[in-house]
Amino acid sequence: MISHDELGPEKILEVYDAKTGMHGFVVIDNTALGPGKGGIRMTPTVNKEEVFKLARAMTYKCSLAGLPFGGAKSGIIANPKEITQEHKDAMIKAFSKALKPVCPLLYVAAPDISTAEHEMKVFAQANGSMKSCTGKPKELGGIPHELGSTGFGVYHATLVAVKHLGLDIKKLSFAVEGFGNVGRFVAKYLSGAGARLIAASDSRGVICNPKGIDFDKLLKVKKEQSTVTKYSEGKSCIVLKGEEIVGLEVDILVTAAIPDLVTDANKSKIKAKIIVQGSNIPMTPEIEEYLHKKGILVIPDFVANAGGVISSYVEYIGGTPKDMFKMVEEKIIKNTAEVLEKAKKAGIKPRDAALSIAVDRIKKVMKKKEKSK
């Protein structure tokens, strides 16, 4: 059920194309700060309720990141595994053309599940504006996701959390759940900062070595054998089941893959002092509250993993990868510190502090616009 409140959603558009069988929709949640920003996901089960929740998350994320973007998201109902690339491209074209009345004025698209650089190229060309989406190929002014903007941001959020607790990163151990585009870069940067990588996971399981894992060797194994579980450097290496990463004896746990990783069944097993959410929705707000009461510092997803949308903004304004890294570092450090300071002063969990900051920023702009009418 889509719930309406003072923030939005402002518009929900449902579009069809008989020729391609395209059936899609876009939820533009809030545009007080700028055009709604959010990716296009293509799955057989995507629906308006799912897209609305994601659009609202983007509203909060863009506001907290200090970007002139609002929140939005879109979906196309299709199974990419059951159609040809040509058919997929035709659907993307039809979707882009159908959204011309709102894109890019009120909606700026991006890649999401089953869409990537190629689809953004198709979308932008069909729309007739390079500003209609981000995540485009390099030759169209895109900033490649492979540069690791999200992981770079999660790394800086982690450093702020460590500093907030008065700890020394060089004396801490960490585990990374997920060794994909986010987790891999977090592991790289934290290892480079002197922290000890104890464990990393992928879809096949967890590799764990209490004495430490060599990041460069782990990366080589992952690239050559498609899984971190084949890493065997040192006698202390053991392979565990994926969910066992939650209860490992580490100082920092970075989530970087699946949603609902931490559940009611395993929340009591957590030994980490800090959890940094590189993935989206790795636990419920109720579980965050439980961990907060236990004295575990949890950096929320839309605070820690905003590096991707910051990178999108740099692409949107025609910036370079160098500009991107500079802006991600500056904004993530500033915003994470602000959230933790507010949480500490108010005695609330970081998510509540972050939501308060994000919503206040939006409401202030909405009030100004209302007064100027």
Known catalytic residues are 73
Strands (E), 166-266: 173-177, 196-202, 205-208, 238-240, 252-255
Structure tokens that stand for 21 in this block: 């069988």
Tokens encoding 39: 């990716």
Query: Sign of the CA dihedral 321, 327, 330, 331?
Result: negative
- Alpha carbon dihedral 303, 307, 310, 316, in 10-degree steps, equals -150
Parallel/antiparallel/unpaired status of strands 70-77 and 36-37 = parallel
DSSP 140: G
What single DSSP character describes residue 60? H
**H-run or E-run covering 367:** helix 350-372
Q: 24: helix, coil or strand?
A: strand
- On whether the CB atoms of residues 232 and 239 are closer than 8 A, the answer is no
Q: Are strands 274-277 and 252-255 parallel, antiparallel or unpaired?
A: parallel
CA-based torsion, 247, 289, 258, 301: positive or negative: negative
